[in-house]
Amino acid sequence: MKSPQSIAIKTEQLVHTVSTSAGELTILKGIDIEIKEGESVAIVGASGSGKSTLLGLIAGLDVGTGGESYIYEHALSNLNEEQRATLRGEYIGFIFQSFHLLPSLTALENVMLPAELSGDYQAQEKAMAFLQQVGLQHRLDHYPRQLSGGEQQRVAIARAFASNPKILFADEPTGNLDADTGKIITDLLFELNASQGTTLVMVTHDNKLAQRCQRQLIMAGGCINEPRTRSNESESDEVSEA
């Protein structure tokens, strides 16, 4: 499990088709990806190309209509909704563009919630430590509406890391933030990624942010295209040092 060669995420011909009023729409057209433990990977591409759909499926929020997706050795198509929730609790943190904090809970309560739900009796202590790490130790008792967008996203990041996920997914985590705040948030993501050895998979429109990741996967029309870059041209099977 701790080997740098462990595969955290894998898909095999992952397909997703939905019914719309205009008929069937195939959003993902046979995706094959492999992401190693500890890697940072950006998913980029035009709006509507299927990035969020792919992220949701590989994070186990939903299941594809065809093919297979794995979180470590677990094949997601074999699992029911409850089993997927348990698996997410064990492996996954997720940060959304729109923060998704619960408005009736304070910053501290929002961060504590996942660990508390999984029965961790140190939930509060850990939540306080993570809020301190994101610079919000003086805001523990504030409600989301009392916090700026950047502060809310920092709470969301603290919440994602508080459950100590092996894999962190972020869907345009800086999309609703100004450039300076976005920089603070992404520095934080990479810092926490490095300090915890967490695999980081993010969807972003921001080219600079994408370049900070070790690999970039380009989505177009429901398909993935991975460019040959410095990080994968010399040793295609190894985790890059770059």
How many whole angstroms separate alpha carbon 14 and alpha carbon 69?
7
48 binds, among Mg ion, ligand ADP, none (CB under 5 to 8 A by kind): ligand ADP
Residues 190-229 that bind ligand ADP (CB under 6 A): none
Residues 121 and 115: beta-carbon distance below 8 Å:
no
163 makes contact with Mg ion (CB under 5 A):
no
Q: In whole angstroms, how large is the CA radius of gyration of the chain?
A: 18
Using the minimum distance from each CB to ligand ADP, give the nearer residue, 50 or 93.
50
| Helices 107-117 & 149-162 angle (0-180, nearest 10) | 20
Tell me the window of 19-27, 108-116, 141-149, 225-233 that interacts with ligand ADP (CB under 6 A). Answer: 19-27
97 makes contact with Mg ion (CB under 5 A):
no
To the nearest whole angstrom, how small is the minimum distance from the Cβ of residue 224 to ligand ADP? 12
Residues 35 and 41: beta-carbon distance below 8 Å:
yes
To the nearest whole angstrom, how small is the minimum distance from the Cβ of residue 50 to ligand ADP? 4
144 Cβ contact list (under 8 Å, min separation 6): 99, 101, 102, 103, 107, 110, 152, 155
Report how far apart the first and last C-alpha atoms of the chain are (Å, whole number). 23
Using the minimum distance from each CB to Mg ion, give the nearer residue, 43 or 192.
43
113 makes contact with ligand ADP (CB under 6 A):
no
Neighbours of 145 (CB within 10 A): 8
174 makes contact with Mg ion (CB under 5 A):
no
Using the minimum distance from each CB to ligand ADP, give the nearer residue, 38 or 50.
50
52 makes contact with ligand ADP (CB under 6 A):
yes
Q: Residue 80 — left, alpha, or beta (φ > 0 → left; ψ -120 to 50 → alpha)?
A: beta
Tell me the window of 46-54, 149-157, 190-198, 208-216 that interacts with ligand ADP (CB under 6 A). Answer: 46-54
Binding site for ligand ADP (CB under 6 A): 18, 20, 25, 27, 45, 47-53
